Structure 1
Amino acid sequence: MDALSLLLNRRSLPKMAAPGPQGEVLENILRAGLRAPDHGALTPWRFIVSEGEGLQKLADILVAAAKADQAEEAVIEKASKAPFRAPMVITVVAKVQPSEKIPTVEQHISAGCAAHAMQMAAVAQGFAGFWRTGSWAYHPVVREALDVQGDDMIVGFLYLGTADCREVKAPERELSQFVEYL
């Protein structure tokens, strides 16, 4: 798949099954994340890969967060199942580095670029994925469990696996509604 086709036809697929990326394919995905734009070469990222038993550990963290909020049983149940929507979840964390020149927001954006690059690398190698954030990314119980401190931020949970549903064509958007020229 050529890069332009990949970018112009990007879609998130919500249903994934095993297998997930492994070996060299997974390394390519992680290396793509490390190539994200990075002002000042701060490398402000951390990638936490959950698969196998790691998915259960992530589920336990989400359940603990839901219980800390005294959530309804349906929310707790949803939290317990969330990581199992794919055989792999990569939690992408903006690991903010002290800098007088590069503001925190740029480091958060850089980590977001890393998440996007990893999703595109997965798709380019025949896998599917979707990037989810949601309230769990900001929850203090989740942040503490994943050692996300201070200005660090979970920018997303990247679910990866083999497509288990039919891909729907991306909607066309009219450029004139989004583009201006000076």
Structure 2
Amino acid sequence: MPAPNPAALDFLLTRRSRPAKTLTTPVPSRDDLRPILTAAARTPDHGKLEPWRFIVLEKPALDRLAALVVAHGPALGKAEEDVAKARSQYADGHLAVAVVEVQKPSGKIPALELTYSAGAVCLALLNAALAAGWGANWLSGWPSHDRRFMAEGFGLAENERIAGLIHIGTETNPPPERPRPDLDAITTWATS
């Protein structure tokens, strides 16, 4: 018989991201972040390729990225409100971890599975931060998908891209519960 972990299951059944705009200081210290990053790095990675890495963005780095958003948005034809929204994601943040997908050549593991693994790291990082008592939210947005922004802002190589930005801090307001998927509508039981 399996050995259940009711506390872990209850956490997963009740977990809720905290809106990034509601997160404030204090933020985790480097020592606080180490177990959170360690937990995220335990994600299955299909062939032990470690197809991801972390960039911890402290306040000065977030401010620098906010200015870069303002510089890049108009050149990409982004509307003022889109630039302002993307800028605030960085400018209003106090700490975020960029999860960087790293495509590594493998004759055995398809590239898409490396992408899936990087996405799984984002969720593991988010859940680890929440389990550690912090507020956390997984964001992306048009700047994190723009190749020039990725290169200038994060120093990413051609085989790298942002899988997600996990904002971590102290929550100011507990978020309300939101509607969840209808399990029966999204589940098929294959019996033969």
**Common topology (TM > 0.5):** yes
Against the structure 1 CA distance between its residues 21 and 117, is the aligned structure 2 distance closer, same or farther, given a 3 Å change threshold? same
Structure 1: gaps spanning 5 or more residues: none
Equivalent pair of 2:62/2:93 in contact (CA under 8 Å): no
Say if 1:74 and 1:173 are closer, same or farther in 2 by CA, change over 3 A.
closer
Which of 89, 101, 104 aligns to 1:82? It is 89
- Mapped partners of 1:39, 1:59: distance in 2: 34
Question: Aligned match of 1:171 in 154, 179, 190?
Answer: 179
Task: Indicate conservation of the 8 Å contact 1:44/1:111, yes or no.
Answer: yes
TM norm structure 2: 0.86
Equivalent in the alignment of 1:149: 157
Q: Which residue of 1 aligns with 2:166?
A: 158
The code of the aligned residue for 1:175 comes to L
Aligned to 2:67: 60
Is residue 7 of structure 2 the alignment partner of residue 2 of structure 1?
yes
Q: Whose radius of gyration is greater, 1 or 2?
A: 2
Q: How many angstroms apart in 2 are the aligned matches of 1:71 and 1:63?
A: 10
Give SS of 2:100's match: strand
- Which residue is 1:19 aligned to? 26
- Identical positions, percent: 33
The two structures have a TM-score, normalised by structure 1, of 0.90
User: Unaligned stretches of 5+ in structure 2?
Assistant: 1-5
What residue is the counterpart of 1:109 in the other structure?
Answer: 116
Q: CA deviation at 1:70?
A: 4.2
The Cα of 1:135 is off from its aligned counterpart by 1.6
Segments of 4+ in structure 1 off by > 4 A? none
- Mapped pair 1:128 → 2:135: yes
